[in-house]
Amino acid sequence: MIEKEVIVIRESKTHIDDLFRNIRNAFAHASFSIKKQKNVEDYFYFFESRKKGKEIKTRLVLKETTLLRWISYFN
């Protein structure tokens, strides 16, 4: 079971802006998937952002509970 949250974001504006922009872009461009592991209650969200369709610029993996908690913090 995954117990850590790791975020790597390129430098620009603020880290929070980058984080939510990458999540928003992944939803907007259908570059995400949602998976559930056996024996784990939470779902995992996988987000990607690619440069010109090739090189991966950003990849995020978040538990659903983490994503919902972040939304509630910043909403």
Domain ranges of the chain: 15-74
Start-to-end C-alpha separation, the chain: 28
Encode pLDDT of 36-58 as tens digits: 988 888 899 999 888 776 788 88
**Residue 1 DSSP SS3:** coil
Question: CA 27, 49, 47 angle in degrees (round to 5)?
Answer: 50
Question: Does the structure show a pLDDT above 70 at 4?
Answer: no
Residue 37: what residue type?
Answer: Q
pTM: 0.70
Residue 5: pLDDT over 70: no
Average pLDDT over residues 56-70: 87
Write out the two tokens for 60. 């995020």
